[in-house]
Amino acid sequence: MERSLITLKMLQDRLGAQFSNIRLLEQALTHKSVNPHAQNRGEIHNERLEFLGDSVFDLALSDLLMFEFPNNTEGDLTKKRASLVNESSLSDLACNLGIDQILRVGKSERDILQNPRILASALEAVIGALYLDQGFQVAYITVAKLFSERMQLLQNAQFDTDYKTRLQEIIQKSHQAVPEYALVGATGPEHQKTFEVEVKIKGQPLARSSGKSKKQAEQNAAQKALETL
């Protein structure tokens, strides 16, 4: 028990927020695999908190993006938000906080701690729990702190359109690999060809797109891959 309490305290220190009701944080860090029939006996896991945290993330980041990019269209803001809250980004933040070390899972399910979706969901649950415990203002400040570095990157206009760089950073962190681009086709006359490129990760296709040059086709494929992560 002592080790658990110390670990939870470390997580709160990293978040920069302290819980009044520590049971909410414990619930957020409990995956349903601990007991698949938990709800039938009145026990709890983190799925409801994940549902809430997802909305807290969306509202907080929408507000931050509206402030940071006053001239962006709705479409531009939507794309920026999607690049911030995709599965790979959230799982990376979860690992930085140490959630992968203290998330409770079933004894036979330890391998799911390497699953980006599970870790991303756990982070959403933690933010949902923080919202219930401390209110939106504290949750907002915490989200802003978590995404401060990524928000600074979005300020860089070149990074905003360099989808290949953004995709590579995410894939390197989540899969310890780099995206691979392959030309799969070219159509049209020599002076006006359209190139089609496919991007893969460890041999598995992520997305395919086209462009008037190979470089543009690669950027378009990377952009499409980012939207699906």
The set of catalytic residues is: 54, 124
Rounded-to-integer distance, Cα 132 and Cα 157, Å: 36
Instruction: Evaluate whether 123 touches 93 at the Cβ level (below 8 Å).
Output: yes
Instruction: Evaluate whether 207 touches 225 at the Cβ level (below 8 Å).
Output: yes
Measure the CA dihedral 63/66/69/72, to 10°. 140
Q: Which of 99, 102, 92 is nearest to 169 (CA)?
A: 92
Neighbouring CB atoms inside 10 A of 17's CB total: 19
Measure the CA dihedral 213/217/223/228, to 10°. 170
Q: What are the start-end ranges of the H helices in 47-195?
A: 47-68, 74-84, 87-97, 99-102, 116-134, 136-146, 148-155, 157-161, 163-175
